[in-house]
Structure formats: structure tokens, C-alpha cells
Amino acid sequence: MISGLNFVQNLLILIKGSAALHDKSAELLSSKTKSYRRAPRISRIQRSLRPLYTRFGGLYYADKGLTFAVLDITLNQTIDLLLAN
């Protein structure tokens, strides 16, 4: 049981770090877009760039909401398992 909780804690730390990476890269791209308004070629390249993200499975990428969703699902499943015994 303790190893499972350690795994969940490590998973949440990983997701939180990945979400911070996504947020920082999006913030950096939006701040740099404003500085290149006079150069159309650089501005076009800048608009085509996307923020960095980490994929989890086929449907999810890490953002702030994924951390809380994983925590909510894990806690609900743990409580259901404890109440079933």
C-alpha cells in the first residue's frame, strides 16, 4: 500500500513539473510574440510555434487541471477500495 502511495506521489510530482513546463513555455512564447511585431518573417515563424507539452497516453497532456484530476481519481478509488473491505 505504501509503495502505491509513493507511486502516486511521484506521478503527481511528474505531472506538476510537466504542467509547469507547459505554462512557462506558453508564457515565453506570448511574451516574445509582442517584441517581433515589426519583422513580418520572424513574426510569422513565432506564431507557428506551439508551447511544449508532455503527453500522457493518447488523449492527455499535462496542464494544471490534470494534476487535480489524477489526485481526485486516485483518492476516490482508494476510498472506495477501503470501504469495500
Taking only the tens place, the pLDDT of each residue in 32-85 is 666 666 777 777 777 788 888 777 766 567 777 777 787 788 888 888 888 887
Q: Which domain holds residue 54?
A: 2-84
Distance CA 36, CA 46 (A): 8
Single pTM value for the model: 0.58
Distance CA 85, CA 78 (A): 11
Q: Is the pLDDT of residue 31 over 70?
A: yes
State the pLDDT at residue 14. Answer: 81
Q: How confident is the model at residue 7 (pLDDT cuts 50, 70, 90)?
A: confident
Distances in Å between the alpha carbon of 41 and those of 3, 6, 38, 44? 53, 49, 9, 5
